[in-house]
Amino acid sequence: IKRMGILTSGGDAPGMNAAIRAAVLTAAAHNIDVIGFRHGFNGLLEDDQQTLLPQHVQHIIQHGGTVLKSARCKALHTDAGARQAAEALHRLQLDALLIIGGDGSFRGALAIAQHYRGQIIGVPGTIDNDVDGTDFTIGFATAIDTALDAIDKIRDTADAFERIFLVELMGRHSGYIALSAGIAAGAEQIICPEFGTLQANELKALIKPIQHAQLLRGKSSYIIVVAENSYPGGTTALAEALSTALGIECRACILGHIQRGGSPVGADRILATKLAAYAVEQLVNGAHLMMAGEVNQQAALYPLAQTGERKKQIDPYLVRWQQQIASD
- Residues serving a catalytic function are 128
Do 66 and 20 form a contact (C-beta atoms < 8 A)? yes
Shortest reach from residue 11's CB to ligand F6P, in Å: 3
Contacts 24+ apart (CB under 8 A), 286-289: 286/119, 287/119, 287/121, 288/119, 288/120, 288/121, 289/110, 289/113, 289/120, 289/121
Exactly one of 166, 170, 290, 304 binds ligand F6P (CB under 6 A); which one?
A: 170
Q: Which is nearer to ligand F6P, 174 or 189 (CB)?
A: 174
- Residue 133 falls in which region: left (phi positive, over 0), alpha (psi -120 to 50) or beta: left
Shortest reach from residue 164's CB to ligand F6P, in Å: 24
Exactly one of 38, 172, 269, 274 binds ligand F6P (CB under 6 A); which one?
A: 172
Select from 117-125, 156-164, 170-178, 262-270 the region that touches ligand F6P (CB under 6 A). Answer: 170-178
The 6-35 contact track toward ligand F6P, x by CB under 6 A, reads -----x------------------------
**Burial class (CB within 10 angstroms; exposed 0-12, middle 13-18, buried 19+) of 210:** buried
Say whether residue 39 binds ligand F6P (CB under 6 A). no
Select from 149-157, 164-172, 191-199, 305-313 the region that touches ligand F6P (CB under 6 A). Answer: 164-172
Do 20 and 40 form a contact (C-beta atoms < 8 A)? no
Residues with Cβ within 8 Å of residue 14, at least 6 apart in sequence:
64, 65, 127, 138, 139, 142, 143, 260, 261, 262, 263, 264, 265, 268
Say whether residue 126 binds ligand F6P (CB under 6 A). yes
Shortest reach from residue 130's CB to ligand F6P, in Å: 8
Say whether residue 128 binds ligand F6P (CB under 6 A). yes
Exactly one of 14, 102, 125, 193 binds ligand F6P (CB under 6 A); which one?
A: 102
User: What is the DSSP annotation of 255-282?
Assistant: -GGGGG-SPPPHHHHHHHHHHHHHHHHH
Exactly one of 21, 260, 269, 274 binds ligand F6P (CB under 6 A); which one?
A: 260
Say whether residue 179 binds ligand F6P (CB under 6 A). no
Say whether residue 103 binds ligand F6P (CB under 6 A). no
- Contact residues for ligand F6P (CB under 6 A)? 11, 102, 126-128, 170-172, 228, 260
